[in-house]
Structure 1
Amino acid sequence: MADTAVPSLPPGPESDAEGDTESDADSAEFAAERLRRVLGPVTVVRDTVLSGGFYNSARLLELADGRRLVLKTAPRGSALALTHEQGLLDTEALFHRLAARAGAHVPTVLHHEPAGPGTPAEWLLLTYVDGTTWDAARDRLTPADRAALRHRLGESMARIATVTGPAYGYPRPALGLSGPDWPSAFTAMLHAVLADAIRFEVTLPVPAALLADLPVRFGHRLAEVRRPALVHFDAWEGNLVLDRTGHGEWRLSGLIDGERAFFGDPLAELVGLDPLGSAEDDPDLMAGYRSLAPGLTIDTGARVRLALYRVYLTLIMRVEAVPRAYEGELASWRDTWSAEHLTRQLAALDALDA
């Protein structure tokens, strides 16, 4: 990981993102009604709002029969959002179904319902993955624990990458963020977040035209991607669930929150799971990945593409701060970090191009 310190994250933005005025009691009753529609006459004995999310809201619902489920609800359609942030729960349902078939440990999808008449906001019902997130357990992990877990994480990423999509880009054709090849899809994705920066009046630390030209300048490197692999793109430690029995060995028990997934270069996964660092230089992670995909090579073309994906993710993190109304330390850190990171990645691209 990079030396940059990330400030403590605020509670999840359920009330702000949702734009909802319902009381907690009303929300709990609404959640129970949704469960009954899907599962029949069940009794919720405990309803807990899950914090830590930054877009969709989530509730842990514990049933009288012992089941533990997660109900995720998207913001209402009137909420401010980036262009690609539409139908995210549909994407999450698709990701979990495909990843499960590939052998990855992910929540089971029980029901997905898009927004429509009588349903003001999209929602998704999932099984709950027992354990604790990696970032919450970080201080309890020994170096040996971490090495073993990173190896297993690499294996999991390799399994997910075996899934091939029908096209490149985000799996919602209506957004216009997909294409028949990776250069066209990635160009649309990058240009969309640059358009979002204009829409939300976000100041960029470098000229937008320079960033918009990157897929043209490095189109030959993007064209090296010949298969639209499934990419989670948000597998950082807060979305990785660990578990163990007593003081035994830690296990990677689940990957959650697949809402940011797309089909594209499997190398992009390395950027999403380690946004502040350089996962491609982690020997444990790469050994795990190559144990299932020995052909993975980090050559000049790969490093160019990794830098491009870091530019894209950094732009998302910078621009989303405005519609999500981040404030204080978190907003300040994102602004400073994103400026430094963009400059660093552009310098890396110049050096690789030379």
Structure 2
Amino acid sequence: MADTAVPSPPPGPDDEADHAADNAADEPAAERLRQVLGPVTVVRDTVLSGGLYNSARLLELDDGRRLVLKTAPRASALALTHEQGLLGTEALFHRLAARAGAHVPTVLHHEPAGPGTPAEWLLLTYLDGTTWDAARDRLTPADRAALRHRLGESMARIATVTGPVYGYPRPAAGLSGPDWPSAFTAMLHAVLADAIRFEVALPAPAALLADLPVRFGHRLAEVRRPALVHFDAWEGNIVLARTGTGPWHLSGLIDGERAFFGDPLAELVGLDPLGSAEDDPDLMAGYRSLGPGPTIDTGARVRLALYRVYLALVMRVEAVPRAYEGEFAAWCDAWSAERVTRQLAALDALQA
């Protein structure tokens, strides 16, 4: 998002009164920590801003440890179809990515919603540093080039993980399948159904959008392995750190709650929702430094366009259950319409 002006998003769930009330009804943070860590003392409890769905708190303990407690909205909260058990997905992503050598928070505990637990929660270690988007103005061109190379390496490591199925990892959501065409079809059709449910006007006829996996099924079928994909690794979810005035380094990747198993090319769409990460030479050089990396041929460009349509639709539809307002809501509506229209044109050209 570095090259495009985007209005500031509305307050995240952790800042909204309804979610604050939900959290107040939950067990105190200190009690949750005692369940996992035994007797501990929280010396500071700070709300972390920036989230748009789950709430997050930084818990500082008297022994010096810094942990993050994430809490999902209650199960009754309005949400898109794929937004089920997101913290369980995040826990799975971080565990798998860590085994592959990527820098991510350590999962200490995940508690699904159930009797006595009105909302699922997740306890993680805290990554010291600042997000890339917050540090952007302090980065030199050389800093950015080196960091993008490191990010490409991290994405390559994550892509080595192979999942048991294609699609989202929660079977109950029905958004997975034995192959990538069937899984992606289910994912796309789910967000189109959500648009109907939330009465969201689509930027193109629903039938045309729903038919995309059929028109380009042969291109989706080129994906033969369900690779792990973060799909939300934009600059707000990348943590950077430095010592004094020394060089910046990649501290880690956070918020893996949107992860799925599928085409590793989809990672490039989540990395740069507004641009074209595949055209970034530093990022791609880092990716290919650990292996051959993706080939950006006609089939790849078709699939990238499909994933950009999907992401734009998700961002457009989620604006309603999340009650976006003002400048950000207007920007999201206009941007998603333009993005979908442009990608549909690109698909027509690629097919021709």
TM-score by length of structure 2 reads 0.97
**1:100 paired residue among 98, 101, 123:** 98
Deviation at 1:294, TM superposition (A): 1.4
Instruction: Kindly provide the CA deviation profile for residues 246-300 of structure 1, in whole angstroms up to 9, marking residues without a partner as x.
Output: 1111000110000000000000000001000000000000000011121420000
Q: What's the counterpart of residue 317 of structure 1?
A: 315
Cross-structure match for 1:11: 11
The 3-state SS of whatever aligns with 2:21 is coil
Could you tell me which residue of structure 1 aligns to residue 54 of structure 2? 56
Relative distance call for 1:35 and 1:2 in structure 2 (3 A) is closer
Deviations 1:9-34 (A, max 9, x none): 2332225496452686x77x711110
- 1:294 corresponds to which letter in structure 2? P
| CA distance in structure 2 between the partners assigned to 1:7 and 1:170 by the alignment | 30
Give the SS at the match of 2:218: helix
Specify whether residues 23 and 228 from structure 1 end up closer, same or farther in structure 2 by C-alpha distance, changes over 3 A only.
Answer: closer
Q: CA deviation at 1:5?
A: 1.6
Aligned partners of 1:2 and 1:251: how far apart in 2?
Answer: 18
1:138 paired with 2:132, answer no
Residue 325 of structure 2 aligns to which amino acid in structure 1? E
2:217 paired with 1:219: yes
Structure 2 gaps of 5+ residues are none
Secondary structure in 2 matching 1:21:
helix
Which residue identity is paired with 1:163? V
After superposition, where does 1:306-345 map in structure 2 within 5 Å?
306-345=304-343
**Offset, 1:157:** 0.1
Q: Which aligned runs of 4 or more in structure 1 are off by greater than 6 angstroms? A: none
Structure 1: distance between partners of 2:218 and 2:156 = 24
Q: How far is 1:235 from its partner?
A: 0.1
Distance, in Å, in 2 between the alignment partners of 1:2 and 1:278 is 12
Q: For residue 235 of structure 2, what is the aligned residue in structure 1? A: 237
Q: How does 1:163-312 map to 2 (within 5 A)?
A: 163-312=161-310
Counterpart residue type for residue 45 of structure 2:
D
- Aligned 8 A contact 1:17 1:55 in 2: no
Q: Please tell me whether the aligned partners of residues 18 and 75 of structure 1 are also in contact (alpha carbons under 8 angstroms).
A: no
Q: 1:284 to 1:261 in 2, by over 3 A?
A: same
CA distance in 2, matches of 1:209, 1:317: 19
8 Å CA contact 2:45–2:58 kept in 1: the answer is yes
**Cα separation, partners in 2 of 1:305 and 1:3, compared to 1, 3 Å:** same
Partner of 2:28: helix, strand, or coil? helix
Equivalent residues of 1:19, 1:79 under 8 A apart: no
CA contact (8 A) 1:318 1:335 kept: yes
Q: Which residue pairs with 2:124 in the alignment?
A: 126
Distance 1:295 1:252 in 2: 20
Deviations 1:106-134 (A, max 9, x none): 00000000001110000000000000000
Partner of 1:149: 147
What is the identity, as a one-letter code, of the residue corresponding to 2:97?
A
CA distance in 2 between counterparts of 1:17 and 1:311 reads 33
* Partner Cα distance (2:2, 2:174) in 1: 34
Matches within 5 A, 1:27-66: 30-66=28-64
Deviation string 1:199-232 (CA, Å, 9 cap, x unpaired) is 0000011101000000000000000000000000
* Contact 1:165–1:228 (8 Å) recurs in 2: yes
Moved more, 11-20 or 142-151: 11-20
TM-score, length basis structure 1: 0.97
Structure 1: gaps spanning 5 or more residues: none
For residue 289 of structure 1, give the secondary structure of its aligned residue in structure 2: helix
The separation in 1 between residues aligned to 2:23 and 2:323, in whole angstroms, is 22
**2: distance between equivalents of 1:105 and 1:17?**
34
CA pair 4-173 structure 1, distance change in 2 beyond 3 A: same
